[in-house]
């Protein structure tokens, strides 16, 4: 870590900036953890929505609606 001389008149200003940055990093880390949890919950919801019903004898998937594509490969 690089050390820099801070004039006495700027110490309070620099200390406040360091505190803000540390708080920002701490909150950012927490948001990343919450985001991972949120994605896990969304995946659980998606799996529950895609469960076949009724479980013992699921209905067949719905047929495709609309016109068929002219060719199977799609260009982006």
Residue-range definition of the domain harbouring residue 36: 8-49
Cα 21 from chain centroid? 22
Q: Dump pLDDT digits (tens) for 18-46.
A: 999 999 999 999 999 999 999 999 988 98
Q: In this structure, is residue 64 part of a structural domain?
A: no
Contacts of 53 (CB under 8 A, 6+ apart): 59
HSE-up (13 A, CA, CB side) for residue 20: 6
CA 20 to chain centre: 24
Tell me whether residue 73 is in a domain. no
Residue 23 lies in a domain: yes
Q: Residue 73 — very low, low, confident or very high, per pLDDT cuts 50/70/90?
A: low
Would the pLDDT of 3 be above 60?
A: yes
How is the chain split among helix, strand and coil, in percent rounded to 5?
A: 55, 0, 45
27 located within any domain: yes
Domains identified in the chain, total number: 1
pLDDT in tens, 39-68: 999 988 988 888 777 778 887 777 777 777
| Separation of alpha carbons 59 and 44, rounded Å | 22
């Amino acid at each position: 870590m690089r050390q820099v001389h801070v004039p006495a008149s700027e110490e309070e200003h620099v200390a406040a900036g360091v505190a803000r940055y540390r708080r920002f990093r701490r909150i950012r880390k927490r948001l990343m953890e919450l985001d991972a949890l949120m994605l896990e919950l969304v995946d659980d919801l998606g799996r529950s929505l895609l469960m076949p019903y009724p479980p013992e004898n699921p209905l067949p998937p719905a047929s495709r609606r609309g016109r068929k594509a002219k060719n199977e490969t799609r260009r982006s």
